[in-house]
Structure 1
Amino acid sequence: LVLRPEGTASVFRAYIENGMQSDPQPVKLWYYGPFFRYERPQAGRYRQFWQVGFEMLGDEAPVLDAKTILIAYNLLKEIGFKKITVNINSIGCEECMADYKKALAHFLKERTGIVCPDCKKRYKKNILRVLDCKDPKCKQVFSEAPQVLDYLCAPCKGHFKQVLEFLEEVAVPYRLDPFLVRGLDYYNRTVFEIALNDNSLVGGGRYDALSKALKTDDIPAVGFSMGVERAVALMKEKEIKLKLKRKKSVFIIQVGDLAKRKAFKIIEELRQKKINVFEAISKDSMRVQLTKANKLAINIVLIIGQREALNDTVIIKDMKTGKQVTIKQDNIVREIKERFKKS
């Protein structure tokens, strides 16, 4: 018997035990519930706490890392938080990390006498955790430490570059933090935190390595979690009140690299206009995407192929009647809202 410390491993195990590998990938899951930590209680951090999390499993596409960050960022923005910061880094794969740990160990070996007692323990047990230290003296020491970005292999560099490009496509402001590593051992490649001033609200990243810990087939995954008590405390401090409203939905389909970029931007534009959008943006097959739209029983589907991407147009298809028209991308919001009024 154990009190669960977090939700990611439980969601991952549920994905495996319920045969979700055979479902269309990626599988998107969320959770909400009580968790427990063994540490000294402090403001906003309790022994028992509530957490909400979101996971995408079964696909390693960089666009999903960006999508996960965008979901977390938009969640905080829609709650009402302003001036939030996305801190992001890549810690690479197992091979990258092995090289980086050696370099960090060599750097720290000559400085163990000037770091705090906790960092001395972390040096022997889990050296990456020294980078999380909040002691001002340690932070000064580690500011001169090797940076993991300099040890990334070519595939990991390419993956991270695409993640940042997708974030830039939708104008999500981010700050590269070369010493951000996250606390859990199963993370690899993209890691991120979203903070309000010095208060971290959301943390997450890619955790393809978790499948090895559970001794199963390689299963790529990415996700985030948010502590509810800390978020609620900040909402009270900022006098933020939620306004919830159910929305009608559209599904967006893209085929081709340029179309994927256009679709990624349109999804965000529609979200900003309070239009609920479903997608399978990591997929390239129109058949797969149409199948998902049908399963979700969504009647309005937007289709962007290579021609539409080049011409700045989009096909709007009525899934009930099968009729479709081509319009300029600038007119999408108006057309969708008119169709919502009629439905």
Structure 2
Amino acid sequence: MVPKLASAAEYFFKMGVEGKRFRPTVLLLMATALNGRLSEPLSDGVGDALTTELRTRQQCIAEITEMIHVASLLHDDILDDADTRRGIGSLNAVMGNNLAVLAGDCLLSRACVALASLKNTEHPSYFANQFKNIYFFHKCCLEYYMQKTYYKTASLMSNSCKAITLLAGQTSEVAMLAFEYGKNLGLAFQLIDDVLVFTGTSTSLGKGSLSDIQHGIVTAPILFAMEEFPQLRAVVDQGFEKSPNVDILICLEMQALEYLGKSRGIQRTRELAMKHANLAAAAIDSLPESDDEYVRKSRRALSDLTQIVITRNK
């Protein structure tokens, strides 16, 4: 690989800018929460070898998921014309759009190669959901927002959890519980992200408070605020027009933030996130009982993550 491209592709995997590794953590916990132990090894060492091979394959799923996620960040930053990501300069700002596009494509290619190495014909179809898009709802519609949020964030988590489960040879019922956990955890995560755009700082999230609106994107806090203040829709529609007049854009931002501040938009979004977090925890609670200490600890950690997701501030 060209050295400069390799450096770009590894940009968000370097020490200090690597992010939280939230998705791999969830998937490796899910693996331990479901694998259990082989009660009767087939022969000396064979049971351990099989367990190690399974763990290696499940770790590969976690690596694939993170590569797809980071690739999507690189491409999103180009579309958003973002200057920062995770508190540092975004790759497109540091190295240019062309190299950032290639870096994202490179990561997706690596993910596809790793996926093929698993030699399972079902897994590629699970991950394909990450690249779907939807156009059949109006953009200022909560149903559209939730569908878009699923494909943007939750589908990767839900299908990765399902893949981890099926690799472990679990039943379709257990696979569906893992899928529901990933789906609802992903939705809760994104809902809080959309809250933090308004309550956090641009340094922590890499974008201004209303950059989404300026790019034609309306998230849950604004959608809920619109229900209370229908006049906010006109402000948002003007933002969609991408007026070149900076003074007009600043005025629109101030108006939108004023309506949002008077509404329950932030609170209702947090409540919706809590609902999905509780659904994720319920899915873990519904898994078949186990006496394995590591299984039970991992399940408690997965349940704890549902609360961490909705109480975080960055």
TM, length-normalised to structure 1: 0.22
More helix by share: 2
TM, length-normalised to structure 2: 0.24
Query: Taking CA–CA contacts closer than 8 Å with sequence separation of 6 or more, which of the two structures ends up with the larger relative contact order?
Result: 2
